[in-house]
Chains A and B, each alone.
Chain A
């Protein structure tokens, strides 16, 4: 039995990697080859698909737009969640527990519920088709998540640390930025990762709230499929490139995530 203990994980990883492999495989094929032949690797290896994406602004601007609103959203979410989480972890106030739970319920409604009101509202205040519109709408589910994660990290820091700092002569703000934020740096890293990820993969709101100027990459991908026939090779290349930022971020925060799981709030 011992001899084969590598078997199950190997099969598992193989199955996990299969669709990703197939995507990458397709991205180096021509559309004709994808449609007409079955092959485990490209017969006629081509970089055409990637060249098209990097030279055509309707394609690469999709990435720029997506990254822009994702970064804006991450910054807003963490900036808003830090003081909120501090209040929840350090102070008692009327209805604090209910409010904390209510935050979480914001995540329970599917984003589709909010698509129409957001669309109508942003149109009427002239925010339609802007990066900030998408970034703000994603705060709907990212801020509660950020508050929830950060509160856990903050509560694991004893409040005696705050008091010691005050006794030593620190003002609140100096303590907060010089000592408290570095102390929970791992938590902030994880929070940013989750905000980044959820905003990056969200399609419905991003698609509804944009037309051309702030059009995200995922929207570009779905629209291409319907207008100029099936450009499968191109789509596969775009898909491959979409995975990369996520993989990149995960690589950098993997240690933090492990720590976060150990602290019990992720």
Chain B
């Protein structure tokens, strides 16, 4: 089982939504589409589902061309960001509807709905209408409807985005487990890098209708092919600076910071990317380099402190664990863990990670 997009392209009027894209998703994998809003995640999923036709290119499923096949004829499920359920049906009827449509016998429907409801903790709510439920329960109902039939392809379009923080955490943990023993391909669209890391599997970073990189989630995170991919896969945004390397010394061009390096890369100018959690208030590694920045904004979230500061001419972000007292406008010392720097060459391709 595999789903393959071959040179898929989508244009609406003069606007290009998806640039020619190739992507192959293997069986029993969870695939995260990671990108900001309007990156083209939803369009891509609609093309995968068959709700939308690509302007050019082909979709192959199990070595069969399914490009023009209607969505009803494909065995897919989809869950949206908005909690979409049939308002006139009870939760039970909602979950049962995909089976009922295909004419599964009543006893079997009952048994399968019971099982899925149990799995998603919906058993006490089966006789209620969806709008009598909380947001989390509504989304669970939608998930149950997606899980009840043995779909080959399950598409989740930002399923957690409209939930409050606690419910999101809870459901995010459960999600990968729901797909563990299933013969299917799962595609999960999200705007949040932390979702991708939590869910694991494979990740495709997407920007403005182009897939930048596709691979195992940790690989994409640790070895972004290029600067764009690294930027998409970083939240808060990655800090970027120009450096010059000559011999064993490395220096930032905008500010007077130099450190020793033993990287086996050619001398010359590079762009470095460093994730905010590697720029901290306290020293985290023996190789950390001290830098000085002027604090612009700081946000405390209890367990973490986020500091936006001006370093040289650029705006940087630092993320440290613990609460720190920070005065806005103050010049403060921060530590940059240079071991975790990603080096990109003049064409923004990765040459060295850490």
Contacts and interface: CB of A to CB of B under 8 A. Distances in A.
Determine which residue in B49, B70, B86, B142 has the highest number of CB atoms from chain A within 10 A of its CB, and name it.
B86
Nearest to A164: B84
Contact of B101 (A160, A163, A168, A182): A168
A169 B77 CA distance: 10
A163 B86 contact: no
B301 interface: no
Interface string A98-120: 00000000000000000000000
Contacts of A36: none
A160 B49 CA distance: 13
A62 to B, nearest CB: 39
Chain B interface helix/strand/loop/mixed: mixed
Given A163-B78, A169-B72, A169-B102, A179 B49 contact: no
B327 to A, nearest CB: 47
B51 A167 contact: yes
Given A163-B78, A167-B49, 10 more contacts: A158-B84, A160-B84, A161-B84, A166-B51, A166-B71, A168-B101, A182-B88, A183-B86, A183-B88, A185-B88
Range class of the B interface residue count: 20 to 34
Nearest to A179: B86
Interface in B100-116: 101-102
B78 to A, nearest CB: 5
Contact of B145 (A168, A170, A171): A168
**Among all A-B residue pairs, the 7 with the closest Cβ atoms:** A182-B88, A169-B101, A168-B98, A160-B80, A167-B78, A166-B71, A164-B84
A160 B82 contact: yes
A166 B72 contact: yes
Interface string B83-127: 010111100000001100110000000000000000000000000
Given A158-B82, A160-B82, A167 B88 contact: no
Interface of B: 46, 49, 51, 70-72, 76-78, 80, 82, 84, 86-89, 97-98, 101-102, 142, 145
A164 B88 contact: no
Contact of B80 (A164, A169, A170): A164
A202 to B, nearest CB: 34
Contacts of A168: 77, 97-98, 101, 145
B88 A179 contact: yes
Nearest to B51: A163
Interface in A174-233: 174, 179, 182-183, 185
